Structure 1
Amino acid sequence: MALVHRNVVRVSALLARYNFRAYSTPAEKDIKKSVFISQSKDIFTNLALEDWLYRNFDFTNHHVLMLWQNDPCVVIGRHQNPWLEANISELTSITENGVQLARRNSGGGTVFHDQGNLNMTFFTARNHYNRKYNLEVIKRALFREYGVKLEISSREDLTLRNCKVSGTAAKLGRPSAYHHCTLLVSANKLNLSQALQKVDVGIETNATKSIKSKIINLCEEDPKIKVSSLYKVVGWEYLRTRALSIKDGGMELANQQKGFQMVNPTDLWFPGIEEIRTNLQTWNWRFGKTPKFTISRSFTVPDNLLINTDVPDDLKVTMIVEGGKIMDVNLFVPPGLVASGFTGNVNVITSLVGHRFSEEALDNLEWSLGALISDKDKFVTDCVRQVMQSV
């Protein structure tokens, strides 16, 4: 069945039709549904649209499924460490236009998006939040259209042949809530691997850490599955399923809903959305919101810099980073490295405190290195540089 696009309306009209306060719990038959399709492929714009709807829309009597795609990007959870989750130093060179790094408002783990993913956000009132329901809708849609049998894991991920095709994350508030996930359809797995590939660089943190899993694209199961067709397939399944129970109402129920809306996430449609987007794109949000962490590395001191080669202890550098900025730098300097002339490190190292980790700090370190003469001084500061460049 062809995808029906209803007349595009601006947000004032959407709010006038849909957004009303109802303080009593509505009956299932009184809850209507819409499918909103974002016309943007920009991760910050789509996250801003998601947040705008969460803040401003009333979902008491009206549930919404937002469908959206993004250009290549890495999206970390609200409480995650980007330096631990993403290959930050390589993101700009992975694709022709680079890979953006974004932090979303919900928790959960890190995901890679490109136009081979279909992103889905299910909005409801808080008391109607049910992500098992949402996953069942997706599962039924894929089976109805393609005969593909997905499973829901104990962690509430969608799996195929014991590989993940979708994760899950949510934001629960009052009075609204949403659950979102991204469906792997034909994502570039090489780019995904390069963007998320990380080695253990000695970070200690309480930040939420992603759990690595085997993944599979749906197109590997059935080449006919395309993102473009899934807008229709998932959208109609959502509209034909009752609002609070996994019961199929068929096209009769679907035709009673509010249907599909193409939405343009701009200030003209959603006043204030540009301000939300701007905040999501700032360094302070993407990096500054990182939970406090400590990074430590040890370095073997070259023999030519040791006074006493019988004391082969390593040099150890420990940095404490909070709010995305270097709060402290501690050095363990082996006795064999200490000698007259080893004077430059204290000023150089302390000059890093208060700088952003790590672009600003590296620039400052490079400037400081220009005044150093001693090979031992240079070795110590080079070790500090390597700590910052390793993440």
Structure 2
Amino acid sequence: MAFAINSAMKCTKFTSVLVRQCSGGTLLSGVTKNAATMASSADLRPTAPAGGQNGLSKSVFISQSRDIFTNLALEDWMYKNFDFTDHHIMLLWRNDPCVVIGRHQNPWVETDTELLDRKNVKMARRNSGGGTVYHDPGNLNITFFSPKSRYNRKQNLEILANTLEKQWNLRPEINKKEDLIIDEKYKISGTASKLGRPNAYHHCTLLVNVEKADLKSSLLKNEKLMIKTNATSSVPAPTINLSEIHSGITMDALIAAVGWQYMKTDDLTNEDKGWGQVQKQKGFQMINPSEEWFPGIEKIRDEFASWEWRYGKTPKFEVSRSYDIGWGLMDISMTVESGVIQEVYLVCPDGVSWGGMTGKIPVATSVINQRFSQESFILVERALKTHKFHMSEPSNRRHAAHG
């Protein structure tokens, strides 16, 4: 192979699949079928040696997994172990229903974690920044791998925009946040990246036929929680499926079109060099993100699926809930660091005491040093019942308050 993998972490089962020569599984059959609409026999030239200008070649990898933690682990494995100096890679992947937050976000701010559990929707934290997104099989995830020196997020988005324009006559625009939008309003692709040494990746999404009702409900927040945090917050935007705009945009058709356009585009000049350029590339490859193919990937997957990563990486925050006790609103407030409750306070309304104390009262409770969850408030409520609330104001003012 033209790309190098660390010798201690060498893949053992890669099989290159040039889709024009493939008659295999459903996905590749779809890719092969759609290729015919994008190239005429006049476009095709005799196969040239691998490697384009300056020896640079490209591949499109398609993950066979639908598990979000496995695909995040695959992305991380490739980022850490591949040499992209002379071989750039586009990774295409899809997931079963899940919510994915950015590395520096707070899951309790972005979604209702208990609701996700009840709906059996996984919550994951990726290794890049950016905002929260919902994935299901109708969402195509695209990761562009390159050396950091050749990282170019806008150029990658132009490949996607060119694909939609050339194949379906759509004209998406790249906004200031470097998202893809349609009709100056609807977001069809969000974007995030990770830059390291020597490698970098830029990943984004394309909404094909996502279940929009599930998308909306999965990103609902728990309005009872009041959270103070410096974590990155998502900025909501109206979205639209590509299939709503053009009925011809199916997942298989989009995978084929995006892959071919990527291989036709010269990474050094961003010029579409046609099908002659494709002949210099390594084609489509179905990959199995398993331990047999990528030694060590299961450990990485376990880390992405762990509570310590998904919740424990949350920046320090303060969370509170309000309760009506008849004489006003009482707040239970918690300080949470690394996902673990550090302090609990009771904030009484003016003129009300608890256990002979008023104002902001520290509470000794078993939830301290425990992992935070919404159930933590229920446990604190039980602890508070050991003392009753009392009015600390004179009797006549108390009656006035109730009047």
User: Normalization by structure 1: what TM-score?
Assistant: 0.82
Task: Work out whether 1:321 is the aligned partner of 2:315.
Answer: no
Gaps of 5+ in 2: 1-9, 17-50, 391-403
Alignment partner of 1:191 out of 211, 214, 232: 214
The 1-side partners of 2:376 and 2:323 are apart by 20
- Partner residue in 1 for 2:271: 247
- Partner residue in 1 for 2:312: 288
* Aligned sequence identity (%): 49
Gaps of 5+ in 1: 1-9, 17-25, 304-311, 378-391
The 2-side partners of 1:206 and 1:347 are apart by 23
What SS is found at the alignment partner of 1:279?
helix
Output the amino acid matched with 1:65: M
- Partner residue in 2 for 1:11: 11
**1:361 Cα deviation from its structure 2 partner:** 3.5
What SS is found at the alignment partner of 1:236?
helix
Alignment partner of 2:281 out of 240, 243, 257: 257
Distance 1:335 1:136, change over 3 A: closer
What SS is found at the alignment partner of 1:36?
strand
Output the amino acid matched with 1:191: D
Output the amino acid matched with 2:11: V
Instruction: Tell me if the contact between 1:133 and 1:245 (Cα under 8 Å) persists in the aligned partners.
Output: no
Task: Work out whether 1:213 is the aligned partner of 2:228.
Answer: no
Note the alpha carbon deviations across 1:314-354, whole angstroms, 9 max, x for none: 32322111000111112222464426699xxx897432211
**1:375 Cα deviation from its structure 2 partner:** 5.4
The 2-side partners of 1:214 and 1:360 are apart by 32
**1:142 Cα deviation from its structure 2 partner:** 1.2
Between stretches 27-36 and 223-232, larger displacement belongs to: 27-36
The 1-side partners of 2:12 and 2:354 are apart by 73
The 2-side partners of 1:176 and 1:244 are apart by 16
The 1-side partners of 2:342 and 2:365 are apart by 10
**1:227 Cα deviation from its structure 2 partner:** 1.2
Note the alpha carbon deviations across 1:107-152, whole angstroms, 9 max, x for none: 1111000011000000000000001111011111111111111111
Q: Between Structure 1 and Structure 2, which shows a larger proportion of helix residues? A: 1
The 2-side partners of 1:340 and 1:297 are apart by 20
- Partner residue in 2 for 1:44: 69
Alignment partner of 1:148 out of 170, 189, 202: 170
Task: Work out whether 1:350 is the aligned partner of 2:371.
Answer: no
The 2-side partners of 1:248 and 1:339 are apart by 72
Instruction: Tell me if the contact between 2:59 and 2:90 (Cα under 8 Å) persists in the aligned partners.
Output: yes
Instruction: Tell me if the contact between 1:129 and 1:177 (Cα under 8 Å) persists in the aligned partners.
Output: yes
**1:180 Cα deviation from its structure 2 partner:** 0.1
**1:202 Cα deviation from its structure 2 partner:** 2.1
**1:92 Cα deviation from its structure 2 partner:** 2.9
Output the amino acid matched with 1:11: C
Output the amino acid matched with 1:122: F
What SS is found at the alignment partner of 1:338?
strand
Note the alpha carbon deviations across 1:199-235, whole angstroms, 9 max, x for none: 5532111111111111111111001111122111100
Instruction: Tell me if the contact between 2:355 and 2:387 (Cα under 8 Å) persists in the aligned partners.
Output: no
Distance 1:236 1:244, change over 3 A: same
Distance 1:77 1:340, change over 3 A: closer
Instruction: Tell me if the contact between 2:171 and 2:182 (Cα under 8 Å) persists in the aligned partners.
Output: yes
**1:244 Cα deviation from its structure 2 partner:** 1.9
Instruction: Tell me if the contact between 1:59 and 1:124 (Cα under 8 Å) persists in the aligned partners.
Output: yes
User: Normalization by structure 2: what TM-score?
Assistant: 0.79
The 2-side partners of 1:360 and 1:300 are apart by 18
Q: How does 1:90-101 map to 2 (within 5 A)?
A: 90-94=115-119, 98-101=120-123
Between stretches 115-124 and 194-203, larger displacement belongs to: 194-203
Distance 1:28 1:327, change over 3 A: farther
Distance 1:347 1:291, change over 3 A: closer
Between stretches 355-364 and 186-195, larger displacement belongs to: 355-364
Task: Work out whether 1:110 is the aligned partner of 2:135.
Answer: no
**1:372 Cα deviation from its structure 2 partner:** 4.7
Task: Work out whether 1:182 is the aligned partner of 2:205.
Answer: yes
Give the total of aligned pairs: 344
Distance 1:329 1:65, change over 3 A: same
The 2-side partners of 1:332 and 1:13 are apart by 60
Instruction: Tell me if the contact between 2:69 and 2:305 (Cα under 8 Å) persists in the aligned partners.
Output: yes
The 2-side partners of 1:331 and 1:141 are apart by 57
Q: Give the root-mean-square deviation of aligned CA atoms.
A: 2.7
What SS is found at the alignment partner of 2:235?
coil
The 2-side partners of 1:254 and 1:63 are apart by 13
What SS is found at the alignment partner of 1:350?
coil
Output the amino acid matched with 1:51: D
